[in-house]
């Protein structure tokens, strides 16, 4: 299923004495990186930007505390369950085509959400955002994979892209706070129209599209099975926060989800044109990278969730100030990602970098667990998030590049989708699991200290603080386990250079 761009097809044979035609994507690769980075930023931002806007949206539209969870999980459910389908569609339909369609659909969904006149309309718009986000994210990463083929330039490009993926959540908190405070919560959705318009214009001008020579059939059975299975798992984890882990609905959803994922794996072994070819997963570099992204997302989302609660509820920070407080983490992550990909990756490879990043993540969370009711930002929080940022940069950028290393051109989309799937599902599992642990810890602490004569407000504050520290320690443990798994599974050595001819693969 190897394909060439129209320009490459016209290239004269070697030795003809004629200068070969330069692949148009290669000539415009850095501009293309800007377009793809903007699209990735838009998708990642929407996982957190609405969190800051929720209180204002709830007051404006008048929905309950239980309902507000669906504004966040509606996006995650659609996004996480459809990513593999989106990845395969980008391979089959052409990445430029799906990229532009997804951008346009995401913009329309954002406009509907911004104009929502009630809870139902808002949640429907968020789910629609998730659907188009699931088509957009893998096509963007696949385009990046096939655009940058020079090893040094690819390292730099993936460093930038990895920094965007890792820091986008924190940027979402900052931007959400600014827009909500100075404009309206609706602008947390309307802002996507600006991002999408620029990305659509850039994509239409800079990208080319070509059809595969032998287009494989879409594995509909596999698509339905894995989509419903992932939906059931993420939905079950979301239900666990409300109904509890032991409830019949939670257990049923999780069991059904796991059974469907197992059924999907069996189907892929017997299907002529599988949605997720087993060859994509069996490579140790790719498999280890997927696990690393999954585990780090489980631990990292805890920082955004509980540190935000601590800064706003315990320390009294405003939404804008909370967003600003995360900026050093973004800077550390961006610097670390560039150094890891450009300087260190060619020398030591992911097997060394990813475990070190995991250990730094564990250390950062251990420092964060030392917070008290009166801790100063500069003495505890700042050192913790700087260490976390350095660690995340050493994980995300190398792991994202390792996840698509040596993949066949016609599998680039689905391999890219797996990165986003692991990040989204890992974040959902981590958030649900650790939030349940934190809630149980707060309840147990309050019950144990109820008779000590503490004022109710102080007791609740101490119970909340206890839940935060427990969650940080638990997440630190996740990173330690991740370091062991990454060091064991990832193979030794550096990533090999892309195969000759990669610059002219279909986009």
What tens digit of pLDDT does each residue of 452-499 get?
777 888 888 888 888 889 989 999 999 999 999 999 988 886 665 444
The CB-side HSE value for 33 (13 A sphere, CA atoms) comes to 21
pLDDT band at 409 (very low <50, low <70, confident <90, very high): low
**Alpha helical stretches, state H, 379-449:** 382-403, 412-448
How far apart are the C-alpha atoms of 54 and 5, rounded to whole Å? Answer: 45
Rounded average pLDDT over 243-270: 87
| C-alpha dihedral sign at 270, 272, 276, 280 | positive
Q: Which residue ranges make up each domain of the chain?
A: 22-210+275-497, 219-274
> If one looks up domain 22-210+275-497 in CATH, what number appears?
1.20.1250.20
pLDDT of residue 24: 59
Q: Are 20 and 11 in contact (CB under 8 A)?
A: yes
- Return the pLDDT at 263: 92
Q: For the segment 286-298, what is each residue's pLDDT rounded down to a tens digit?
A: 888 888 888 988 8
Pick the closest to residue 287 from 87, 426, 486 (CA basis). Answer: 486
Per the prediction, the chain carries an average pLDDT of 79
Task: For the chain, give the percent of residues with pLDDT over 70.
Answer: 84
Q: Which of 175-179, 188-192, 269-273 has the lowest mean pLDDT?
A: 269-273
Q: What is the pTM of this model?
A: 0.74
Identify the residue with better confidence: 197 or 28.
197
For residue 94, pLDDT beyond 50:
yes
DSSP 89-122: HHHHH-HHHHHHHHHHHHHHHHHHHHT--SHHHH
Q: Residues 180, 186, 187, 190: what is their CA dihedral angle, to the nearest 10 degrees? A: 160
Mean pLDDT (whole number) for 124-141: 86
pLDDT, one tens digit per residue, over 198-218 is 999 988 888 876 555 555 567
Closest alpha carbon to 25 in 163, 138, 145: 145
Q: How far apart are CA 125 and CA 119, in angstroms?
A: 10
For 341-387, how does the pLDDT look when each residue is reduced to its tens digit (9 = 90+)? 778 877 888 888 899 999 999 999 999 999 988 888 998 999 999 99
The CA-based diameter of the chain, rounded to the nearest angstrom, is 91
Identify the CA nearest to 2 among candidates 147, 148, 274, 212: 212
Cα–Cα distance between 418 and 293 in angstroms, integer?
Answer: 10
Q: What is the pLDDT of residues 296-334, one digit of tens each?
A: 888 887 777 788 778 877 888 887 888 788 889 888 888
Answer whether 8's CB lies under 8 Å from 133's CB.
no
Question: Which pair of tokens denotes residue 292?
Answer: 């690393």
**What span, in angstroms and rounded, lies between the C-alpha atoms of 413 and 136?**
11
Residue 103 is predicted with a pLDDT of 93
Confirm if 199 and 72 have CB atoms less than 8 A apart: no
Place of tokens 């850039």: 202
What whole-number percentage of the chain has pLDDT above 90? 18
What secondary structure does DSSP assign to 462-502, as a single string?
HHHHHHHHHHHHHHHHHHHHHHHHHHHHSPSSPPPPPPTTG
* Cβ neighbours of residue 63 closer than 8 Å, sequence gap 6 or more: 118, 119
* Higher-confidence position of 22 and 77: 77
Residue from 176, 175, 82, 92 nearest 137 by CA: 82
């Amino acid at each position: 299923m190897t394909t060439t761009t129209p320009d490459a097809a016209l290239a004269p044979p070697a030795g003809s004495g004629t200068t070969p035609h330069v692949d148009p994507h290669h000539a415009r690769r850095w501009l293309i990186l800007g377009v793809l980075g903007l699209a990735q930023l838009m998708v990642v931002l929407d996982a957190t930007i609405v969190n800051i806007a929720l209180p204002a949206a709830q007051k404006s539209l008048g929905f309950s505390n239980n309902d507000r969870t669906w504004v966040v999980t509606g996006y995650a459910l659609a996004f996480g369950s459809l990513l593999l389908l989106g990845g395969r569609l980008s391979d089959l339909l052409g990445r430029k085509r799906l990229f532009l369609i997804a951008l346009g659909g995401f913009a329309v969904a954002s406009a509907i959400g911004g104009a929502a006149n009630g809870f139902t309309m808002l949640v429907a718009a968020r789910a629609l955002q998730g659907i188009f986000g699931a088509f957009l994210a893998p096509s963007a990463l696949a385009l990046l994979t096939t655009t940058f083929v020079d090893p040094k330039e690819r390292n730099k490009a993936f460093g930038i892209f990895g920094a965007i993926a890792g820091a986008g959540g924190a940027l979402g908190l900052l931007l959400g706070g600014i827009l909500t405070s100075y404009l309206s919560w609706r602008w947390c959705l309307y802002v996507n129209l600006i991002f999408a318009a620029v990305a659509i214009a850039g994509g239409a001008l800079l990208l080319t599209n070509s059809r595969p020579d032998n287009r494989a059939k879409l594995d509909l059975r596999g698509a339905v099975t894995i989509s419903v299975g992932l939906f059931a798992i993420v939905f079950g984890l979301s239900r666990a926060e409300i109904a509890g882990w032991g409830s019949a609905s939670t257990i049923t959803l999780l069991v059904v989800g796991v059974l469907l994922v197992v059924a999907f794996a069996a189907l892929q072994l017997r299907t002529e044109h599988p949605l997720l070819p087993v060859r994509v997963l069996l490579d140790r570099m790719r498999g280890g990278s997927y696990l690393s992204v999954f585990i780090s997302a489980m631990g990292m989302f805890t920082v955004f969730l509980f540190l935000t609660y601590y800064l706003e509820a315990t320390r009294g920070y405003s939404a804008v100030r909370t967003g600003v407080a995360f900026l050093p983490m973004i800077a550390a992550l961006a610097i670390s990602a560039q150094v890891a990909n450009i300087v260190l990756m060619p020398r030591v490879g992911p097997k060394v970098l990813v475990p070190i990043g995991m250990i730094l993540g564990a250390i950062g969370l251990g420092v964060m667990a030392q917070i008290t009711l009166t801790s100063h930002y500069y003495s505890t929080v700042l050192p913790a998030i700087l260490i976390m940022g350095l660690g995340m940069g050493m994980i995300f950028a190398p792991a994202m590049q390792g996840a698509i290393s040596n993949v066949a051109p016609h599998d680039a989309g689905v391999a890219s989708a797996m990165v986003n799937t692991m990040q989204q599902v890992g974040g959902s599992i981590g958030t649900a699991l650790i939030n349940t642990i934190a809630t149980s810890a707060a309840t147990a602490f309050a019950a144990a200290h109820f008779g000590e004569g503490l004022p109710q407000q102080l007791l609740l504050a101490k119970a909340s603080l206890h839940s935060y520290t427990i969650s940080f320690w638990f997440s630190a443990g996740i990173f330690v386990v991740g370091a062991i798994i990454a060091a064991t599974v990832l193979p030794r050595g550096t990533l090999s250079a892309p195969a000759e001819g990669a610059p002219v693969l279909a986009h």
